[in-house]
Structure 1
């Protein structure tokens, strides 16, 4: 395994990276302030309530260095694997922080004002537009130091801007690939839907080496800004190699009467933390936050969520489902926060865990903080084994135990998969989940 004589993320490495952005002084200022923050902020600790029960103590940032550019052969192979959706409105493929392929949006959409391009290009061609939304949402779920590192070293990402009243029927897709051992990638997705716009988006995070024997690091962020009446549906698939370490930080905002829906599918990495916070900023907004996780071996999935209601007459609904095998662990910690002016809020939060092994462990910490007096809010968590009667029914019909368990787990997850409105994507996600079970056998 490669080793480093000194921390890769040092001042000399940062200054060399910063010099690449000399044409954008405002972005250099952002990067410089985040680098200073990274140096002063402490590493997360389980003593912090936001990291309670987490395995963060096993993460050593000094192990990693910024990713080097992939070879042409590697890029070609990754491009062929970037195929979750074959009929899309546009595609971006990134390998080791750099653009590998860019399929632009149709001219018809461009003529309507749609902006779809690598973030590095948008910084130069649409600086005022990007600056209005870039890093505009505060992060509150604990990954301050990791986000500071991301903001200091990110190289590229996907930028989508959909003007008022424009609808994009087919999904746009961004693929982020992580390459060599002990390398770090910093994917960044920024999605802006103006009033009454409609868009469907897919993010995929994967590893070039599916059976890597040494760790890699992904610190990814994604942000949705949904204007009044906008409809945004984003799917996030994390399928990194079994030795990768993943931090996924989402911060979304929903305006008046907006509909924001996210589905996270979590399969890869030895340690994966998903933070998903949504600010329900406008009256009448409707937010849905869904997740399914398959945890095997000694994987740990650390899930933290925040539903902040800042406006009245709005709704939110969260459903996170986890299936755990072997010695896997999941942590779910969620909070519904209702601010004083958010009267007649209707909010729900549910975490369901299915244990397929006596040594698997699921921790659930749902919570409510309500400052308004006319609301309807609830939370709940369940943890249990496969229903013995259902398992007996399948086995009595000649189905082997392992396959019967898989069928029951697929049924457990189908409630979430069925919410996806693209049949091809549904089938591909089912195949990914099935492959995860086969790998664990």
Structure 2
């Protein structure tokens, strides 16, 4: 390799420009970004020999085709805001396009008086720096994507901060829309939720593409910190186009007697990797981790999970369901880890895969690591095809095969969809799945 090619580093050059553009940001913020970028460069790219990347496709992770440069202004912002309509009644809404704020629907005066904070991260760096110093990126990525978490922190420039003080209960959900717009763009969605003791809140996040044919890269992070006795309900709808390479790194910390429920609906991306770490740190807490995915064509959806029990008398329940069509691939690798002091833990982990073609491939790697002797833990995985009797029953009633398969998939997923607390969001999730089948029928 020539000396000039060694010197050329488009990502480093883009990062230098990114830091220059942060001329008014506080020193600690820019310093943390610089340290993260150096960490990104120091970490090796994943290989198939890495256990955390077993079965995954590695090609393309060098990000050679991604533009980490300043993007052109967004001309169709009003149209995208109009399309950001999954919820009609909300406590607050942010619409981001290529990480730019297109719409910011703020808090009501009543919630402001109670001390609730709802702010774009670009704004929060200056106004709520002390809060960010305590919570921002304080949960380490530990399921294989450490390099991409470092890249996220280095380039992340916007996102949503939600802070709910002690005893505040909010009925209507908050909602965040992250739109990928320009071809070759790199976006870094970030959502940080902090609830103090006995607070209650719901948040919905939607990751979407403005068009169906613009290749892009998304590297998102979601962190939840649930205080004592608090309740957090989080739903993610991922429907990027199938030209997108996507990462989503999720984690939550559940305090004593708290309840945390996270639901992911994954339909889009050419390749999508989701990592979810539920940290059960308080006794009496309950963490639910639910996910569904529909993959077709050559899609690959890679799911890595960890349920870490560090406190006694707590519950975690994980259910991941995947439906695969054509040559699609899914990977599920999950581990329940129970520390020595976490007696009387109830932990469950289930992965179910439904194959709609003979060439689809589902890989499942569930596991347990138990260091306590008074626990109830179970894990399991099943992969099956649609039963011939089910298809025959519908064909006999005049239902075409393609529609019959679609209806069976709906029934397969309903166990998760019915647990989405906001009915309009659940209905939008159903429509996203339905749209995917309609596209197949028109090909």
TM bucket normalised to smaller: over 0.9
Q: Which SS does the other structure have where 2:212 is aligned?
A: coil
Match of 2:197 in 1: 195
Question: Once the 2 structures are TM-superposed, how far is the Cα of residue 58 of structure 1 from its aligned partner?
Answer: 3.2
Asked whether the 8 Å contact 2:343–2:373 carries over to 1, the reply is yes
Q: In the TM superposition, what is the alpha-carbon distance from 1:204 to its structure 2 partner?
A: 0.8
Paired residue for 1:317?
317
Deviation (angstroms), 1:426: 1.4
How many angstroms apart in 2 are the aligned matches of 1:341 and 1:166? 32
Q: Is the 8 A contact 1:264 1:291 kept in 2?
A: yes
Hey, what's the Cα distance between the residues in 2 that align with 1:67 and 1:398? 54
Q: C-alpha separation between the residues in 2 aligned to 1:118 and 1:31?
A: 18
1:438 aligns with 2:418: no
Structure 1 segment 53-202 matched on structure 2, within 5 A: 53-66=55-68, 68-69=70-71, 71-202=73-204
Q: CA deviation at 1:62?
A: 2.1
1:36 maps to 38
Aligned partners of 1:406, 1:353: CA distance in 2, in Å?
Answer: 15
Kept in 2, the 8 Å contact 1:180–1:209? The answer is no
- Per the alignment, residue 380 of structure 1 pairs with 380
Within-5 A mapping of 1:358-437: 358-437=358-437
Determine the C-alpha separation between the residues in 1 that align with 2:75 and 2:141: 38
| Comparing 77-86 and 241-250, the one that deviates more | 77-86
Q: Deviations over 1:91-147 (max 9, x none)?
A: 001111111110001111111000001011111111111211111112110101111
2:286 alignment partner in structure 1: 286
Bigger shift: residues 392-401 or 331-340: 392-401
Counterpart residue number, 2:234: 234
Is residue 270–residue 300 contact of structure 1 (8 Å, CA) maintained in 2? Answer: yes
Partner secondary structure for residue 242 of structure 2: coil
- Rounded to whole Å, the distance in 1 between the matches of 2:176 and 2:9 is 30
Distance 1:287 1:440 in 2: 36
Deviation at 1:67, TM superposition (A): 5.6
State the distance in 2 between where 1:59 and 1:282 align.
Answer: 37
TM-score normalised to structure 2 length? 0.96
Which of 42, 47, 50 is equivalent to 1:48? 50
After TM superposition, give the deviation of residue 255 of structure 1 in Å.
0.2
Query: Structure 1 residues 207, 8: CA separation in 2 closer, same or farther (over 3 Å shift)?
Result: farther
Number of aligned residue pairs: give it: 435
Given that 1:297 and 1:326 are in contact with CA atoms closer than 8 Å, whether structure 2 keeps it comes out as yes
Q: Among residues 208, 220, 227, which one is paired with 2:210 in the alignment?
A: 208
- Cα deviations by residue, 1:226-269 (Å, 9 ceiling, x for unpaired): 00111001001111111100000001100000000000000111
Question: What secondary structure does 1:243 align onto?
Answer: coil
SS at match of 2:438: helix
> Could you give the per-residue CA deviations for residues 2-34 of structure 1, whole angstroms, max 9, x where no partner exists?
xx9964312x32122112334310111110111
SS at match of 2:10: coil
Q: Residue 257 of structure 1 contacts residue 285 of structure 1 at CA under 8 Å; is this kept in 2?
A: yes
Higher mean C-alpha deviation, range 155-164 or range 18-27: 18-27
Q: Partner residue of 2:350?
A: 350
Distance 2:274 2:65 in 1: 21
Give the distance between the partners of 1:51 and 1:69, measured in 2 at CA: 31
SS of the aligned residue for 2:64 comes to helix
Structure 2: which 5+ runs fail to align?
none
Whole-Å separation in 2 of the counterparts to 1:350 and 1:149: 31
Equivalent position of 1:295 in the other structure: 295
Contact 2:45 2:61 in 1 (8 A): no
TM-aligned CA deviation for residue 44 of structure 1 = 1.0
RMSD between aligned residues: 1.4
Go from structure 1 to structure 2 and tell me whether the alpha carbon gap of 1:208 and 1:402 turns closer, same or farther (over 3 Å shift): same
Kindly state the Cα deviation for residue 35 of structure 1 after the two structures are TM-superposed.
0.8
Deviation at 1:69, TM superposition (A): 4.0
User: SS at 1:87's partner residue?
Assistant: coil
Structure 1 residue runs of 4 or more that deviate by more than 4 Å after TM superposition: 4-7
- 1:195-241 Cα offsets, whole Å, 9 max, x none, are 110000011111122233xx210000000000011100100111111
1:372-393: CA deviations, max 9, x gaps?
Answer: 1111000000000112222211
Q: Secondary structure at the match of 2:287?
A: strand
Question: What is the correspondence of 1:321-340 to structure 2 with a 5 Å cutoff?
Answer: 321-340=321-340
2:428 and 2:153 map into 1 onto residues whose CA distance is 32
- Verify the 8 A CA contact 1:220 1:248 in the aligned structure 2: yes
1:169 offset after TM fit, Å?
0.4
> Which secondary structure state, in structure 2, belongs to the residue aligned with residue 56 of structure 1?
coil
After superposition, give the CA deviation of every residue in 1:149-198 in whole Å (9 maximum; x if it has no partner): 11111111000000001011011011111122222111111000111100
Cα deviation, residue 358, structure 1: 0.2
